[in-house]
C-alpha cells in the first residue's frame, strides 16, 4: 500500500443493497483496511528501530495496536448485525 493512497470511497454507490448488507460490507472493508495499516505501521516501526528512532518506533507500534483495537469494535458491530 502506497503512502499516498486515498481514503475516499463512494460508500453510497450500492443503493440496491439493504442497509444491513451495506453496513456489513463497510465494516468488513474497514477491518481489512485497518489490518493493512497496522501491518504498515509495524513495518515502519521496525525500520525506525533499526535507524535509532526508538520513540517513533514505539509510537508506531502503539498506532498499530490502536488500529487493531478499533477493529475489535468493528468486529463486534459486524457480529451484532445477525446477517445470515
Predicted structure pTM score: 0.77
Domain boundaries, the chain: 19-79
Q: pLDDT 10s per residue in the chain (84 long)?
A: 455 465 655 555 556 889 999 999 999 999 999 999 999 999 999 999 999 999 999 999 999 999 999 999 999 999 999 775
Instruction: Give CA–CA dist 81/19, Å, rounded.
Output: 10
Q: What pLDDT does 59 receive?
A: 98
- CB under 8 Å to 56, separation ≥6 — which residues? 45, 48
CA nearest to 61, candidates 45, 83, 77, 82? 45
Amino acid at each position: 500500500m502506497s503512502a499516498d493512497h486515498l481514503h475516499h470511497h463512494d460508500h453510497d454507490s450500492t443503493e440496491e443493497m439493504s442497509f444491513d448488507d451495506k453496513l456489513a460490507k463497510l465494516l468488513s472493508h474497514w477491518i481489512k483496511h485497518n489490518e493493512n495499516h497496522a501491518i504498515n505501521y509495524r513495518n515502519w516501526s521496525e525500520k525506525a528501530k533499526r535507524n535509532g528512532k526508538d520513540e517513533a518506533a514505539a509510537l508506531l507500534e502503539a498506532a498499530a495496536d490502536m488500529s487493531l483495537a478499533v477493529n475489535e469494535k468493528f468486529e463486534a458491530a459486524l457480529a451484532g448485525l445477525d446477517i445470515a
